[in-house]
Structure 1
Amino acid sequence: MVSFITKIAVAAVAFAVTVAPAVADPVYMIAQVKIEDQESYFDDYGTAVFPIVMGTGAKVLVATPTVKKLEGEWDGNWTVVIEFPSESAAMDDWYNSAAYESVRELRFATTSLNNLVIAPGFVPVAQ
């Protein structure tokens, strides 16, 4: 009986491993923008972009006008950090999507500085 139960358990684990989706590593979008027309930026762009971003499974980690510059140039007045579940979610489902293409111009129309980067999370060097 133990042998039969063991075989079923092993088969169940093997099945779960073969059908489990691959887990992608999250990426982070870091934005520094200088908003010139706050009302239009938040009413027009913010209202339109938020559902697109959230539809990718992303999490907004930071969205603030308040930062403490330690070094270098940081001329924006709005900083955003968003965690996307994968690079595909960030690039395909958000930034390069048809939905965002129609919204991107709203950001350009209300800002004078747009610095956006996508960066992977920290992966320590194996020892």
Structure 2
Amino acid sequence: MLPSATASGSENETQTDETTQSEPAQSRKGYVIAVDGITDRDRYMNEYFPVAAETTAAHDGEALVISFDPTELEGEWGHDLTVVLEFPSVQAAKEWYADEALQEVQQILHETTAYSNKVVTSQYTPEDRA
């Protein structure tokens, strides 16, 4: 989003919090996109991953992509795991990330990965081009 100008002409940062979005934007699906550099696959898969999966389901989320070996089409993709989760809304995705059970295993995530990058975004619609 671009900065918005006030009546006085000064710029304010545009808020991207869901509370500032229009009603249709709030009803869009939310997606969490994650890439991890796994250093201890057994522990990651046995201690972190099951909790992540359980909490995803508890927040009405669904795993659309879980890939250890995607095909590079352009550039370099050196991540060990790529995940795309779909939630009913961005807010539901944020609530999943804040879930107490998931937060309890964050230390395991950090101990079993060199990095773990996650973003949350809303579903794209053609109206977004305007």
User: Could you tell me the TM-score, scaled by structure 1's length?
Assistant: 0.74
Q: CA deviation at 1:28?
A: 0.8
Checking the alignment, whether the CA contact within 8 Å between 1:30 and 1:82 is kept in structure 2 is yes
Checking the alignment, whether the CA contact within 8 Å between 1:33 and 1:111 is kept in structure 2 is yes
SS where residue 105 of structure 2 aligns?
helix
Bigger Rg over Cα = 1
Aligned to 1:120: 122
Equivalent of residue 83 in structure 1, options 71, 83, 86: 86
**Paired-residue identity, %:** 30
Q: CA deviation at 1:70?
A: 3.0
Q: Distance in 1 between matches of 2:29 and 2:105?
A: 24
Question: Gaps (5+ residues) in structure 2?
Answer: 1-23
Checking the alignment, whether the CA contact within 8 Å between 1:76 and 1:113 is kept in structure 2 is no
Checking the alignment, whether the CA contact within 8 Å between 2:37 and 2:80 is kept in structure 1 is yes
In the alignment, structure 1 residue 100 sits paired with structure 2 residue 81? no
Equivalent of residue 55 in structure 2, options 47, 52, 64: 52
The residue identity in structure 1 corresponding to 2:103 is E
Q: How many residue pairs were aligned?
A: 105
Larger RCO, structures 1/2 (Cα 8 Å, 6+ apart):
1
**What are the within-5 Å matches in structure 2 for residues 12-31 of structure 1?**
24-31=27-34
User: Could you tell me the TM-score, scaled by structure 2's length?
Assistant: 0.72
